[in-house]
C-alpha cells in the first residue's frame, strides 16, 4: 500500500502507475479528500488552542459564565469535526487499498502482454521426426490424469492425477523443494491452505480481486491462490532486526483460483486449472537489496528448468501486464512442442515495500536504530501443471513411451513411462 503522504508527494508517479496498469481509480477525489482531511485537522488544532486559552481565563475568573458557554460551543464543534474526520479517514483508508504499486523505471510501458520484453532464451526447441502428441492424449494413453473422474467429483478444470501421473506430480514437487532447500538455501515451511481475510489484504489480493478467490463465507476465510499469501504474512505486524535479513522461505501448497477472468482463454487439460500445485519462493530483504535479490530469485527458479533441460525464455512484463502489487516482474515461459507456444510456469516479482506497508512489516536499522519497511519478493519455483505439460510433450518418443529426465528418475524409480 502506498501512504497518502507518498501519493501526495509523487502524484505524477502514482498517476502513471494507475494509467499504465489499466486501473480505474479517481485519484483527484482522493487528493481532494486528503486536502479536506488536513483542513479539518488544522481547524481542530486551532479550536483546541482557542479552548486552552479560554480555560486559562476561566481559571483566572475572567467572564466565567460567558467563557464556559464559549468553551462548550467550541467543544461541540470539535466533536462534530472529529466525527467528520473519522468518516473521511474511513473513506481515504479504503481508497488507498485500491491504488496499485508504482512501477520501476526499468519496466517497459505498454497496455498489455504484447509489449512484454524478451530478456533471455535458454536451450533449444526440441525437434521430432514423427507426429507428436499433445499432453491431453499422452495423459489418456498412459492414464496419468483422469479428467473425466475429476469432473464428476469437482466439475471442470480440476485434475485427478493417477498412478504414474500422481507419482510424477509428487516427484516434481519433492525435486523442486530439494533443489531450493539444499542448493539455494531456502528454509522450508508448510503453511495453511486456508487463511483469514487479513492475509490476502497484505499481499494485495483483497479487496480488488475477491472474485478470483474461493471464499468460505461462514468463517470469513479464503482458500489461498498461492503460498505467497500465507508465507508473506509470517512476519505481518512484526519488527525484525537488520541482522535477521534476508529471510528466504520455500513452500509447497495447493493453489485455488476461480479464474473468473479466464473465459476465452485456452483452458483444456492442465493448461488452466481451478486447483493446482506449486512450489513458492518468498524473500524478505532490506530495500537496498531488493532488485539484486530479484535477479537471484529469478535465477533460482530458472535452475529448475535447466536441470530438466527444458527450453524456456524470460520476459520482463510490461506495465499493463504487471500485477496490482508488483513494481517489477519477470515471467518464465517454457516451450510446449505440441501447442507451439510458450507457457508461463513462474512469475518472479519485487513488491518493494508495498506488501510490507499493508502488513505492517518493519525492521530496525543497525546504523541509526530507526524503523523502516521491509521489501518483499516472491516467485514460483515452479508451478507444476504446465511444467508437466512441457515435460510430457518434450520427452515423448516415437514408440509412444515418455522418457523421464535423468535428474527425476531416482524420484520415480523409472527411466521411462511405457505405453499400457
Spatial distance between the Cα atoms of 107 and 331, rounded to a whole number of angstroms? 13
Cα dihedral 227, 230, 232, 234, rounded to 10, equals: -140
Q: What is the DSSP string of 143-172?
A: T-B-HHHHHHHH-TT---B-THHHHHHHHH
For residue 12, give the C-alpha cell.
Answer: 505524477
Q: What is the pLDDT of residue 63?
A: 77
For the chain (length 420 residues), average pLDDT per consecutive 10? 92 94 94 95 92 84 81 90 95 95 96 95 97 96 96 95 97 98 98 97 93 95 98 98 97 90 67 96 98 98 98 97 97 98 98 97 96 98 98 97 97 90
From residue 3, give the alpha-carbon distance in Å to each of 12, 95, 102, 300, 349. Answer: 15, 11, 12, 32, 21
For residue 406, give the C-alpha cell.
Answer: 535423468
Give the H or E element holding residue 363.
Answer: strand 361-364
For residue 122, give the C-alpha cell.
Answer: 535458454
Q: What is the pLDDT of residue 71?
A: 82
Q: What is the pLDDT of residue 68?
A: 87
For residue 231, give the C-alpha cell.
Answer: 508465507
Residue 186 backbone class (left: φ over 0; alpha: ψ -120 to 50; beta: rest): beta
**Domains of the chain, CATH where assigned:** 4-96 (1.10.287.40), 113-417 (3.30.930.10)
> Cα angle at 117 between 115 and 119, to 5 degrees?
170
**Phi, psi dihedral angles at 217 (to 5 degrees):** -60, -40
Question: What does the pLDDT look like over 113-155, one tens digit per residue?
Answer: 999 999 999 999 999 999 999 999 999 999 999 999 999 999 9
Q: What is the pLDDT of residue 245?
A: 98
Amino acid at each position: 500500500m502506498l501512504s497518502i503522504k507518498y501519493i501526495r508527494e509523487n502524484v505524477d508517479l502514482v498517476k502513471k502507475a494507475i494509467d499504465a496498469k489499466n486501473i480505474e481509480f479517481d485519484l483527484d477525489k482522493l487528493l481532494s479528500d486528503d486536502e479536506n482531511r488536513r483542513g479539518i485537522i488544522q481547524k481542530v488544532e486551532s479550536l483546541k488552542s482557542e479552548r486552552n486559552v479560554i480555560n486559562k481565563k476561566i481559571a483566572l475568573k475572567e467572564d466565567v459564565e460567558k467563557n464556559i458557554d464559549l468553551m462548550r460551543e467550541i467543544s461541540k464543534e470539535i466533536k462534530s469535526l472529529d466525527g467528520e474526520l473519522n468518516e473521511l479517514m474511513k473513506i481515504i483508508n479504503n481508497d488507498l487499498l485500491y491504488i496499485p504499486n508504482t512501477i520501476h523505471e526499468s519496466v517497459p510501458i505498454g497496455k498489455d502482454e504484447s509489449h512484454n520484453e524478451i530478456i533471455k532464451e535458454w536451450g533449444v526447441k526440441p525437434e521430432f521426426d514423427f507426429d507428436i502428441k499433445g499432453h491431453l492424449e499422452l495423459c489418456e494413453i498412459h492414464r496419468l490424469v483422469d479428467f473425466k473422474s475429476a469432473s464428476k467429483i469437482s466439475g471442470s478444470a480440476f485434475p485427478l492425477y493417477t498412478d504414474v501421473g500422481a507419482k510424477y506430480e509428487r516427484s516434481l514437487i519433492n525435486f523442486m523443494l530439494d533443489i531450493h532447500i539444499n542448493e539455494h538455501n531456502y528454509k522450508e515451511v508448510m503453511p495453511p491452505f486456508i487463511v483469514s481475510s487479513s492475509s490476502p489484504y497484505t499481499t494485495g489480493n483483497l479487496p480488488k480481486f475477491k472474485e478470483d478467490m474461493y471464499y468460505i463465507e461462514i468463517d470469513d476465510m479464503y482458500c489461498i491462490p498461492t503460498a505467497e499469501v500465507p508465507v508473506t504474512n509470517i512476519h505481518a505486524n512484526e519488527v525484525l532486526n537488520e541482522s535477521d535479513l534476508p529471510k528466504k522461505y520455500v513452500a509447497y501448497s495447493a493453489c485455488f483460483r476461480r479464474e473468473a477472468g479466464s473465459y476465452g482463454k485456452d483452458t483444456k487439460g492442465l493448461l488452466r486449472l481451478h486447483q493446482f500445485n506449486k512450489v513458492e519462493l518468498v524473500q524478505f530483504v532490506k530495500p537496498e537489496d531488493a532488485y539484486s535479490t530479484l535477479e537471484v530469485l529469478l535465477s533460482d527458479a530458472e535452475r529448475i528448468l535447466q536441470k530438466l533441460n527444458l527450453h524456456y525464455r524470460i520476459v520482463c512484463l510490461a506495465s499493463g501486464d504487471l500485477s496490482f502489487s508488483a513494481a517489477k516482474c519477470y515471467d518464465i515461459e517454457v516451450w510446449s512442442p505440441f501447442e507451439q507456444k510458450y507457457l508461463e510456469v513462474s512469475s518472479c516479482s519485487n513488491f518493494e515495500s508495498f506488501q510490507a506497508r499493508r502488513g505492517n512489516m518493519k525492521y530496525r536499522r543497525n546504523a541509526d536504530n530507526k524503523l523502516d519497511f521491509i521489501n518483499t519478493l516472491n516467485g514460483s519455483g515452479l508451478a507444476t501443471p504446465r511444467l508437466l505439460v512441457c515435460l510430457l510433450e518434450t520427452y515423448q518418443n516415437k514408440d509412444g513411451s515418455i522418457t523421464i529426465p535423468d535428474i527425476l528418475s531416482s524420484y520415480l524409480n523409472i527411466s521411462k513411462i511405457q505405453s499400457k
